[in-house]
Amino acid sequence: MDKMSSDWKIIVFDMDGVLIDAKSSWAWIHDRFGVDNEDSLKAYERGDIDDGEFIRRDIELWKSAEPNISRQDIIDILKTAPVMKGFHKVIPSLKENYNTAIISGGLKPLAEHVGGEYFDRIFANDIKDHEGRLSSRGIVDVPLKNKGDILEKLLSEEGIKKERCVAIGNSHIDAPMLERAGLGIAFNPDDEKVKRSADWVIEEKDLSALFDVLDM
């Protein structure tokens, strides 16, 4: 596909494995508490549970390890997640030239921490407190299987045609988002589905490669 850099209006990123150098912001917390959500992940992939229940089970794992945990405790742990190589070189530059957004099934506090200064719109899932402790009920703003719909909602709200949108992701969950953008980029791809859905594939873990793809 022709890169047509002058025609791009908005650059939309997934977060986990793209903006941060960690496969999952949820797993970053799981690892901190030494818990494993494999059973719920399989149930979700089978369609046995929805996003809300998936999040509830993840939070319950954390609370089983530390019953008095709060939202701020989770935020403090998330802040230790490293940004992807090239982040500080690339993202401020993109912000100067394009509208920017994050669409992530990851945790919104981390998206706001790493991207609040650079991204015009942030869509991600959230957690909340109840009576000073972490509530088991999360906030689902980005259903994992519907990221393409969230992208279309964003473009509609901003009045931007999909042909002028670049979407960047790393897994099969991002495939619908990449397919509905004018240019879909698979960055450090986890699987073949996201590669097949992309117009461009970046195998290296360095966001600086976007400069060449976007002809900047």
Q: Give tens-digit pLDDT for 41-53.
A: 999 999 999 999 9
CB 14 within 8 A of CB 174: yes
pLDDT band at 216 (very low <50, low <70, confident <90, very high): confident
Q: Report the percentage of the chain scoring pLDDT > 70.
A: 97
Domain with 127, as residue range(s), is 5-213
Predicted pLDDT of residue 4? 46
pLDDT over 90 (residue 189)? yes
Q: What six digits make up the tokens of 121?
A: 């719109």
Q: Give tens-digit pLDDT for 59-96.
A: 999 999 999 999 999 999 999 999 999 999 999 999 99
pLDDT over 50 (residue 26)? yes
**Whole-number Å distance between alpha carbons of 63 and 1:** 47
Predicted pLDDT of residue 50? 96
CB 78 within 8 A of CB 134: no
Q: Domain total for the chain?
A: 1
Predicted pLDDT of residue 3? 47
- The pTM assigned to this predicted structure is 0.94
DSSP 156-197: HHHT--GGGEEEEESSGGGHHHHHTSSEEEEES-SSHHHHHH
At position 108, the amino acid (one-letter code) is K
Predicted pLDDT of residue 137? 95
**Whole-number Å distance between alpha carbons of 214 and 202:** 12
Predicted pLDDT of residue 70? 97
Q: Give tens-digit pLDDT for 111-141.
A: 999 999 999 999 999 999 999 999 999 999 9
Predicted pLDDT of residue 215? 80
Q: Report the percentage of the chain scoring pLDDT > 90.
A: 95
pLDDT over 80 (residue 6)? no
**Whole-number Å distance between alpha carbons of 165 and 99:** 9
**CATH number of residue 177's parent domain:** 3.40.50.1000
